[in-house]
Structure 1
Amino acid sequence: MNTIDLFKALSNETRLNILQWLKEPHKHFDKPSAHLSKNMSEKGGVCVGDIQEKAKLSQSTISQYLSMMQKANLLESERHGKWTYYRRNEETISTLAEYIGKDL
Protein backbone atom coordinates (compact mmCIF):
# COMPACT_ATOMS: atom_id res chain seq x y z
CA MET A 1 0.00 0.00 0.00
CA ASN A 2 1.47 3.33 -1.08
CA THR A 3 0.13 5.59 1.66
CA ILE A 4 1.36 8.80 0.02
CA ASP A 5 -0.65 8.13 -3.17
CA LEU A 6 -3.67 7.16 -1.06
CA PHE A 7 -3.61 10.31 1.03
CA LYS A 8 -3.01 12.49 -2.03
CA ALA A 9 -6.05 10.95 -3.70
CA LEU A 10 -8.11 11.53 -0.55
CA SER A 11 -7.03 15.16 -0.19
CA ASN A 12 -9.77 16.51 -2.46
CA GLU A 13 -13.45 16.95 -1.57
CA THR A 14 -14.74 15.74 -4.94
CA ARG A 15 -12.60 12.60 -4.84
CA LEU A 16 -13.87 11.88 -1.32
CA ASN A 17 -17.42 12.44 -2.56
CA ILE A 18 -16.85 9.98 -5.41
CA LEU A 19 -15.77 7.31 -2.92
CA GLN A 20 -18.84 8.01 -0.80
CA TRP A 21 -21.16 7.92 -3.83
CA LEU A 22 -19.67 4.63 -5.00
CA LYS A 23 -20.18 3.11 -1.56
CA GLU A 24 -23.95 3.30 -2.16
CA PRO A 25 -24.37 3.74 -5.91
CA HIS A 26 -28.10 2.97 -5.96
CA LYS A 27 -28.68 5.79 -3.49
CA HIS A 28 -26.52 8.39 -5.29
CA PHE A 29 -27.04 7.48 -8.95
CA ASP A 30 -30.77 7.14 -9.48
CA LYS A 31 -30.71 6.63 -13.26
CA PRO A 32 -31.03 2.94 -14.13
CA SER A 33 -28.51 3.46 -16.93
CA ALA A 34 -25.88 4.63 -14.45
CA HIS A 35 -25.21 1.15 -13.10
CA LEU A 36 -23.47 -1.78 -14.63
CA SER A 37 -26.03 -4.55 -14.48
CA LYS A 38 -25.29 -7.20 -11.91
CA ASN A 39 -25.91 -9.72 -14.69
CA MET A 40 -22.92 -8.32 -16.59
CA SER A 41 -20.64 -8.21 -13.57
CA GLU A 42 -21.13 -9.47 -10.05
CA LYS A 43 -19.17 -6.49 -8.72
CA GLY A 44 -21.23 -3.76 -10.38
CA GLY A 45 -20.00 -0.23 -11.08
CA VAL A 46 -21.04 3.25 -12.15
CA CYS A 47 -20.44 4.78 -15.58
CA VAL A 48 -17.85 7.56 -15.70
CA GLY A 49 -20.34 9.86 -17.46
CA ASP A 50 -22.74 9.58 -14.56
CA ILE A 51 -19.97 10.32 -12.06
CA GLN A 52 -19.06 13.39 -14.13
CA GLU A 53 -22.68 14.54 -14.27
CA LYS A 54 -23.13 14.23 -10.49
CA ALA A 55 -19.81 15.97 -9.74
CA LYS A 56 -20.64 18.81 -12.18
CA LEU A 57 -17.03 18.98 -13.39
CA SER A 58 -15.46 18.64 -16.82
CA GLN A 59 -14.83 15.24 -18.35
CA SER A 60 -11.07 15.83 -18.28
CA THR A 61 -11.08 16.74 -14.58
CA ILE A 62 -13.15 13.68 -13.63
CA SER A 63 -10.95 11.45 -15.79
CA GLN A 64 -7.88 12.81 -14.01
CA TYR A 65 -9.50 12.25 -10.60
CA LEU A 66 -10.57 8.70 -11.44
CA SER A 67 -7.13 7.89 -12.82
CA MET A 68 -5.46 9.20 -9.67
CA MET A 69 -7.81 7.18 -7.48
CA GLN A 70 -7.23 4.08 -9.58
CA LYS A 71 -3.45 4.56 -9.35
CA ALA A 72 -3.83 4.73 -5.56
CA ASN A 73 -5.80 1.47 -5.83
CA LEU A 74 -8.94 3.05 -4.33
CA LEU A 75 -10.97 2.27 -7.46
CA GLU A 76 -11.31 -0.56 -9.92
CA SER A 77 -12.64 -0.13 -13.43
CA GLU A 78 -14.27 -2.39 -15.96
CA ARG A 79 -14.86 -1.62 -19.59
CA HIS A 80 -17.97 -2.81 -21.40
CA GLY A 81 -18.11 -1.71 -25.01
CA LYS A 82 -17.46 2.02 -25.15
CA TRP A 83 -18.34 2.58 -21.46
CA THR A 84 -16.06 2.37 -18.44
CA TYR A 85 -17.59 1.59 -15.05
CA TYR A 86 -15.95 2.33 -11.72
CA ARG A 87 -16.36 0.78 -8.30
CA ARG A 88 -14.56 1.06 -4.99
CA ASN A 89 -11.69 -1.28 -4.18
CA GLU A 90 -13.01 -2.40 -0.80
CA GLU A 91 -9.85 -4.35 0.01
CA THR A 92 -7.66 -1.23 -0.22
CA ILE A 93 -10.17 0.88 1.72
CA SER A 94 -10.28 -1.76 4.47
CA THR A 95 -6.47 -1.95 4.60
CA LEU A 96 -6.27 1.84 4.82
CA ALA A 97 -8.82 1.94 7.65
CA GLU A 98 -6.83 -0.69 9.53
CA TYR A 99 -3.58 1.23 8.95
CA ILE A 100 -5.12 4.45 10.30
CA GLY A 101 -6.57 2.63 13.31
CA LYS A 102 -3.35 0.82 14.21
CA ASP A 103 -0.40 2.82 12.95
CA LEU A 104 -1.44 6.49 13.02
Structure 2
Amino acid sequence: MTDRLEQSKALASDVRLSILGWLAEPDAHFSYQVTGKPSEIGVCVTLLTEKLDMAQPTVSRHLELLRRAGFLTVNKIGRWSFFQRDEAAVIDFKAWINDNL
Protein backbone atom coordinates (compact mmCIF):
# COMPACT_ATOMS: atom_id res chain seq x y z
CA MET A 1 0.00 0.00 0.00
CA THR A 2 1.16 3.50 -0.76
CA ASP A 3 2.25 5.56 2.25
CA ARG A 4 0.17 8.71 1.79
CA LEU A 5 1.78 10.42 4.78
CA GLU A 6 5.25 9.92 3.28
CA GLN A 7 3.99 11.22 -0.05
CA SER A 8 2.45 14.28 1.60
CA LYS A 9 5.67 15.02 3.48
CA ALA A 10 7.67 14.69 0.25
CA LEU A 11 5.54 17.43 -1.30
CA ALA A 12 6.01 19.78 1.66
CA SER A 13 8.98 21.55 0.08
CA ASP A 14 9.23 24.25 -2.57
CA VAL A 15 12.44 22.62 -3.80
CA ARG A 16 10.80 19.22 -4.28
CA LEU A 17 7.76 20.79 -5.94
CA SER A 18 10.11 22.61 -8.34
CA ILE A 19 11.88 19.35 -9.15
CA LEU A 20 8.57 17.62 -9.88
CA GLY A 21 7.47 20.57 -12.01
CA TRP A 22 10.66 20.55 -14.09
CA LEU A 23 10.54 16.78 -14.51
CA ALA A 24 6.98 17.04 -15.83
CA GLU A 25 8.54 18.62 -18.95
CA PRO A 26 12.19 17.59 -18.80
CA ASP A 27 12.98 18.31 -22.44
CA ALA A 28 11.85 21.92 -22.00
CA HIS A 29 13.96 22.47 -18.87
CA PHE A 30 17.00 20.30 -19.59
CA SER A 31 17.31 20.29 -23.39
CA TYR A 32 21.07 20.85 -23.04
CA GLN A 33 21.63 17.43 -21.43
CA VAL A 34 24.18 15.70 -23.67
CA THR A 35 23.99 12.15 -22.28
CA GLY A 36 20.54 11.47 -23.75
CA LYS A 37 17.08 12.91 -24.16
CA PRO A 38 15.74 13.80 -20.68
CA SER A 39 12.24 12.51 -21.46
CA GLU A 40 13.71 9.12 -22.37
CA ILE A 41 16.45 8.49 -19.79
CA GLY A 42 15.67 11.05 -17.10
CA VAL A 43 17.59 14.10 -15.90
CA CYS A 44 21.07 13.85 -14.45
CA VAL A 45 21.49 14.82 -10.81
CA THR A 46 24.27 17.18 -11.85
CA LEU A 47 21.87 19.26 -13.97
CA LEU A 48 19.30 19.41 -11.18
CA THR A 49 22.05 20.49 -8.77
CA GLU A 50 23.09 23.30 -11.12
CA LYS A 51 19.51 24.45 -11.71
CA LEU A 52 18.78 24.54 -7.97
CA ASP A 53 22.15 26.14 -7.16
CA MET A 54 22.49 23.82 -4.19
CA ALA A 55 25.07 21.32 -2.97
CA GLN A 56 24.83 17.89 -4.57
CA PRO A 57 24.23 16.03 -1.27
CA THR A 58 21.30 18.34 -0.50
CA VAL A 59 19.77 17.78 -3.94
CA SER A 60 20.32 14.04 -3.62
CA ARG A 61 18.42 14.08 -0.32
CA HIS A 62 15.47 15.86 -1.94
CA LEU A 63 15.50 13.37 -4.83
CA GLU A 64 15.66 10.42 -2.45
CA LEU A 65 12.62 11.67 -0.51
CA LEU A 66 10.66 11.99 -3.77
CA ARG A 67 11.84 8.55 -4.91
CA ARG A 68 10.89 6.90 -1.59
CA ALA A 69 7.46 8.53 -1.85
CA GLY A 70 7.08 6.91 -5.27
CA PHE A 71 7.05 10.12 -7.32
CA LEU A 72 10.39 9.50 -9.04
CA THR A 73 12.19 6.61 -10.65
CA VAL A 74 15.95 6.42 -11.08
CA ASN A 75 17.82 5.14 -14.10
CA LYS A 76 21.49 4.33 -13.43
CA ILE A 77 23.79 4.62 -16.41
CA GLY A 78 27.38 3.95 -15.45
CA ARG A 79 28.11 6.03 -12.37
CA TRP A 80 25.38 8.55 -13.17
CA SER A 81 21.81 8.66 -11.88
CA PHE A 82 18.99 10.03 -14.03
CA PHE A 83 15.61 10.86 -12.49
CA GLN A 84 12.14 10.79 -14.06
CA ARG A 85 8.67 11.48 -12.71
CA ASP A 86 6.51 8.44 -12.17
CA GLU A 87 3.40 9.86 -13.82
CA ALA A 88 1.19 6.99 -12.67
CA ALA A 89 2.13 7.69 -9.04
CA VAL A 90 1.51 11.43 -9.43
CA ILE A 91 -1.91 10.80 -11.02
CA ASP A 92 -2.77 8.29 -8.29
CA PHE A 93 -1.86 10.76 -5.54
CA LYS A 94 -3.90 13.53 -7.17
CA ALA A 95 -6.90 11.20 -7.37
CA TRP A 96 -6.47 10.22 -3.73
CA ILE A 97 -6.36 13.91 -2.70
CA ASN A 98 -9.51 14.63 -4.73
CA ASP A 99 -11.31 11.67 -3.18
CA ASN A 100 -10.30 12.45 0.39
CA LEU A 101 -10.42 16.22 0.70
Q: Compute the TM-score of the two structures, normalised by the length of structure 1.
A: 0.89
Q: Does 1:83 align with 2:80?
A: yes
Asked if residue 36 in structure 1 is aligned to residue 33 in structure 2, the reply is no
Distance in 2 (CA, whole Å) between partners of 1:74 and 1:36 is 21
Per-residue displacement from partner, 1:12-71 (whole Å, max 9, x unpaired)? 0010000000000111113132x6348xxx843100100111011110100100111111
Q: 4+ runs of 1 displaced by more than 6 Å?
A: none
Counterpart of 1:48 in structure 2 is: 45
Q: Can you give the 5+ residue segments of structure 2 that lack an aligned partner in the other structure? A: none
Which residue in 1 is equivalent to 2:14?
Answer: 13
Letter in 1 for 2:78: G
SS state at 2:41 partner: coil
Provide the aligned C-alpha RMSD in A: 1.6
TM-score (norm 2): 0.91
Q: Of residues 58, 62, 69 in structure 2, which corresponds to 1:61? A: 58
Aligned residues: 100
Gaps in structure 1 of 5+ consecutive residues: none
Residues of 1 paired with 2:36 and 2:70: CA distance?
Answer: 20
From the superposition, tell whether residues 29 and 22 of structure 1 become closer, same or farther in structure 2 (CA, over 3 Å).
same
Q: Percent identity?
A: 31
Q: Could you say which residue in structure 2 is the equivalent of 1:99? A: 96
